[in-house]
Amino acid sequence: MQDVTDWAFLNLLQRYGGADVYFTEFFRVTQDSRLDPEILRSVTENPTGRPVVAQVIGSDIAALVRTARELQAYPVAGIDLNLGCPAPVVYRKCAGGGLLRDPERVDAIVGALRQAVTAVPFTVKTRVGFAEGGEFSRILEVLEKHRPDLVSVHGRTVAQRYRPGVRHDLIAQAVAELSCPVLANGDVHSADEAHRIWSATGARGVMVGRGAVRNPWLFTQIRQKGRGEPVIQPTGREVLAYVEALFEAVSDVAAREVDRVHRVKKHVNFVAEGAEATGRFLHDMRRSSTRKEFFRICREHLDHDAPMALEPWIREELES
């Protein structure tokens, strides 16, 4: 997740159990681009002790090949091509999910990267289409032609962004038609949901984004359910302690107070979605500008000992 799951966040997430494998924020690749040193930190100063895959995004084939070769000189666990980003600023440049409108271009890019990535696994993340899922079969044909080592499928279209309606049937289609392992992505908000998705799709595993920012205990909870153990739920005060740790971890101590508050809001937006049903926490938190005000609002909603599921309460309104 760009500008959210950076080195500092990965370092913090590992305190709560962490993921089995991490993917970096994406390296933006253009004709004149160079490796972003802040994103590269997640590889060169890997704070997790777990494998870290370097994610790239772009449409210039020569530049993508150059970048993939450069990244293989670092201790990356793989090179991942992003075909899923739904941000208009990205897809309008025919990068990320925008490439799904042009399967022939996807064919050329995936083929070139498959040849260039030889020292580590080559992986792809995709959505199920740009405007509708009808083009997904062609995308799967292209991917199977070039045999990536892993494919992650977000079960929404690019146009759908994060609105409800994850297509588990299309993720299952990818599992059936691709010879490589498939990860399922989209609305993995709880351990129960993760295991339902596995059952519905046959995927090898799940990829978690927003759910892990909202609930850093989620990976531990998924493992606990898989082992048949009781699934822990954090108390409000434990969530408050997580927010306090986020503030210290992801905001620059040298920055202005208002900038530190705005920085941590990018993460606490997700926490607030799952912490309070009316949306008042989210509304008030977004309008805070001082550390004192920000934490006063957080304490108002989190300073208690009740267990919290941390699943989004008002998903459709927030993600539309």
Catalytically active residues, by annotation:
85
- Beta carbons within 8 Å of 100's beta carbon, 6+ residues apart: 83, 106, 126, 127, 129, 130, 135, 139, 158
Residues 166, 172: Cα–Cα separation, whole Å: 12
